[in-house]
Amino acid sequence: MSAYDELMAFQRETEALGQVMGRLGWDQETVMPPGAAEQRAEEMAALDGVLHRRRTDPRIGEWLEAARPESAEAERQLHKIRHRFERTRRVPEKLSAALARTTSLAHRIWAEARATDDYALFAPKLAEVLGLAREKAAALSEDGNLYNALLDDYEPGATEAELEAMFGALRPRLVALRERVMGSDREVPRLGWRFDEAGQLALSTELARAFGYDSAHGRIDKAVHPFSSGSGLDVRITTRTVPEDPFNCFFSTIHEVGHACYEQGIDAAYLLTPLGRGVSMGVHESQSRIYENQLGRSRAFTGWLFGRMRDTFGDFGIGDGETFYAVANRCAPGFIRTEADEVHYNLHVLLRFDLERDLIAGRLEVPDLPEAWNARFEADFGLKVDRPSNGVLQDVHWSEALFGYFPTYTLGNVYAGCLHAALRRDVPDLDAHLARGVTAPATAWLREKVQRYGGLYEPRDVITRATGEAPGEGPLLDYLDAKFGEIYGV
Ligand code: ZN
């Protein structure tokens, strides 16, 4: 057996164990009996230990040294393994353990602080997590930039400077669009009805199928927060229902189906290898967002959805498809990122991106964070934050040391904008299909252009290859201006 084959066989087992770990996480959020929590924590910690030992096994270094890759694909597999191996080894074991221990505690304290609106309770723990994250970044940094070192976990190859330029161009045009929309005298109503759970779940399953989700290799369950998990032949999603807001169920299902279809669409030859997963959080989010927004909330597709909702729930007080389209795209400034419409969403992310960079660089101290948050929020949204749970305490990320994660949400939207423009160019009659609830011409295009490659290309290169040009914020802004300018007559 060659060194390359030995390494890949070892890696395959590691990947398989990683999938098992993911499935334990899925189980915990869906069907695990509540009394099992303590035992589950021990099971997960044990498996985590096994995985850590495998990922730092010195034999990997020897195999990497001796391996002679015979194709560009094999070369790329080795690159992914080497990159992960070197990063894992650069973080001292003591620091790694301190991060795991502190974030687990910080997560609990964050949840309590959010429930009681008590930032002072969370601040000392956050300062501890931040200190450890900076230490980790220093251990990983190759160019002296701490934030770049953290970004690499979520968006390999992305840099703070590149994102700062892209997001810096995005923000003023988003604020300007937001102000035009809010100044419109056109009233877009809310849904004022209650929609039964059985109907919502049945229709969301139909939507998942319409968007190409393969339920022979996945399943849909209920969870408090929708997510997708797994890759290869077992990719599961969850959804939730809110009686007065069926869009919550439908569009979060379509969003998770976007993530799941990416994993299901990867070339079967990459199964249980480093190339067998989505290449980055940003590219992943591009798939979920284009499914959810550019396709799912398009005029053509909502026309079909309007009919299916009337079939399912009867008359729910919206008279025509055009009004329904506006309702499904209703804009309103709100405190909470995860509830934001397409116009406001990226402003939420840019705020977090700027504040977390300041925290990591030491330009902003933890006690001053709420004030900085509230001032920026008022400047961009025209609203005063009324309590920490509606502001700085709303997201889980920083308690878990996920610094560098937030920008991938907006990067995903930017990528979705690029892909959507190219898709419309390549499939000019797309709307005729969407109007019949048929997404296949779009989902097949995405599979062919993006999904099947898995981790084969660098994230930016995936988008460049699919669209024929380097990614930029222009197409997203043009799409938002055109869509919301028309809905709101501004
Ligand atoms: Zn997502």
Per residue of the chain (490 residues), what is the pLDDT tens digit? 999 999 999 999 999 999 999 999 999 999 999 899 889 988 988 998 899 999 999 999 999 999 999 999 999 999 999 999 999 999 998 999 899 889 989 999 999 999 999 999 999 999 999 999 999 999 999 999 999 999 999 999 999 999 999 999 999 999 999 999 999 999 999 998 999 999 999 999 999 999 999 999 999 999 999 999 999 999 999 999 999 999 999 999 999 999 999 999 999 999 999 999 999 999 999 999 999 999 999 999 999 999 999 999 999 999 999 999 999 999 999 999 999 999 999 999 999 999 999 999 999 999 999 999 999 999 999 999 999 999 999 999 999 999 999 999 999 999 999 999 999 999 999 999 999 999 999 999 999 999 999 999 999 999 999 999 999 999 999 999 999 999 999 9
Question: What was the pLDDT predicted at 227?
Answer: 96
Nearest 5°: phi and psi at 114?
Answer: -65, -45
pLDDT of residue 280: 98
Q: Is 256 a catalytic residue?
A: yes
CA dist 250 and 246 (Å) reads 6
* DSSP string for residues in 74-122: HHHHHHHHHHHHHHHHHS-HHHHHHHHHHHHHHHHHHHHHHHHT-HHHH
Going from the Cα of 28 to the center of ligand 1, the distance in angstroms, rounded, reads 19
- Cα pseudo-dihedral 103, 84, 395, 298, rounded to 10: -160
CA 58 to centroid of ligand 1, rounded, Å: 35
Tokens 């909502």, residue located = 302
CB 237 within 8 A of CB 218: yes
Fold of 160-488: Neurolysin; domain 3 (1.10.1370)
> Which residue of the set 15, 155, 160, 256 is catalytic?
256
pLDDT of residue 101: 87
Give me 347's structure tokens.
Answer: 């402003």
Between the CA of 286 and the centroid of ligand 1 the distance, in Å, is 8
Distance between CA atoms of residues 87 and 79, nearest Å? 12
Nearest by Cα to 118 from 375, 374, 391? 391
Work out the angle at residue 26's Cα, subtended by the Cα atoms of residues 21 and 30, and round it to the nearest 5 degrees.
Answer: 150
**Closest to 290 in 3D by CA, of 212, 226, 382, 181:** 212
Q: Is 365 left (phi over 0), alpha (psi -120 to 50) or beta?
A: beta
CB neighbour list of residue 86: distance below 8 Å, 6 or more residues apart:
none
Q: Running DSSP on this structure, what letter comes out for residue 353?
A: H
Whole-angstrom Cα distance, residue 277 to residue 284? 10
Q: How far apart are CA 490 and CA 486, in angstroms?
A: 7
* Ligand 1 centroid, distance to 303 Cα (angstroms): 24
> From ligand 1's centre to the CA of 228, what distance in Å?
8
Tell me where in the chain the CATH 1.10.1370.30 domain(s) lie. Answer: 160-488
What is the pTM (predicted TM-score) of this model? 0.97
H-helix segments, 427-469: 430-434, 440-449, 459-467
Distance 209 CA to ligand 1 centre (A): 18
Distance 296 CA to ligand 1 centre (A): 14
Q: What is the pLDDT of residue 240?
A: 96
pLDDT, position 56 = 93
Instruction: Measure 259 CA to ligand 1 centroid, in angstroms.
Output: 7
Measured in Å, residue 211 CA sits from the centre of ligand 1 at 16
H-helix segments, 117-245: 119-140, 146-151, 160-182, 197-210
Ligand 1 midpoint to CA 416 (Å): 12
DSSP label of 190: P
pLDDT at res. 432: 98
Backbone phi and psi for residue 238, each to the nearest 5 degrees, phi listed first: -125, 160
CA–centroid distance, 255 to ligand 1, in Å, is 6
Output the CA 442–ligand 1 centroid distance in Å.
19
Cα of 284 from ligand 1 centre, angstroms: 7
Amino acid at 261: C
Of 344, 381, 318, 338, the closest CA to residue 190 belongs to 318
Sequence-separated (6 or more) residues with CB below 8 Å from residue 203: 246, 250, 308, 309, 312
